Structure 1
Amino acid sequence: MRRVCLLLAFAAGACRIPNSDHCVHRDVQSDAWCAENSPARPYCSPCVAEGHGCVEDPPDPDACPAYEPDTTSGSTGGGSTGGSTG
């Protein structure tokens, strides 16, 4: 019973995906990993399972409070590296 309560408390407090192939498990800089491996989806959402967790737009903090943007100097999570489509 105690173990079930612990699991429920953990699940309610975070929305991390238990998938070893997910971007949150790939690199310390998970947004950068998504930008490099999936340029059309440069943000890593710990609340999305599809596409290794990479998404087009930064996750909304209200909908996905577990999201934390990369914290490298000079990077604010934009991750664009010249992909111009017209």
Structure 2
Amino acid sequence: MRPLLFVLAFLAGACRIPNPDHCVHRDVHSDAWCADNSPARPYCSPCVAEGHGCVADPPDSDDCPAYAPDGTTGTTGTAGDDSTTG
């Protein structure tokens, strides 16, 4: 039984081949990359494979929880927040 589980785990992992042409791999600002390269689809969806992941509407957080607009991942502020006062 144990060898079967090992083989199944190995095969499941083998199915996850990253797509180097997907927008999430193109730039730190994936939405901006899509807007520059596909103006009709200016949002990068990590949940869509077609069209390099670029989509016309921002992905819904319920349907695609991995989506984060540019400027909201890996930063302490939010998009549009210049953190200056006075």
Q: TM-score, normalised by structure 1?
A: 0.66
Equivalent residue runs for 1:55-74 within 5 Å: 55-71=55-71, 73-74=79-80
Matched residue type, 1:60: D
Give the greater-gyration-radius structure (CA): 2
Q: Distance in 2 between matches of 1:19 and 1:40?
A: 21
Question: In 1, Cα distance between the equivalents of 2:38 and 2:49?
Answer: 14
Name the count of aligned residue pairs: 70
Give the 3-state SS of the residue equivalent to 2:36 in structure 1. helix
Q: Secondary structure at the match of 1:33?
A: helix
Q: Which has the higher contact order (CA 8 A, sep 6+)?
A: 1
The Cα RMSD (Å) is: 2.8
SS of equivalent to 1:36: helix
Give, in whole Å, the separation in 2 of the partners of 1:3 and 1:29. Answer: 37
Runs of 4+ off more than 6 Å? none
Please give the alpha-carbon distance, in whole angstroms, between the structure 2 residues aligned to 1:74 and 1:52: 26
- Which blocks of at least 5 consecutive residues in structure 1 are unaligned? 9-15, 76-86
% same residue:
75
Could you tell me the TM-score, scaled by structure 2's length? Answer: 0.66
How far apart are the structure 2 equivalents of 1:2 and 1:69?
38
Q: Give 5+ residue unaligned stretches, structure 2.
A: 73-78, 82-86
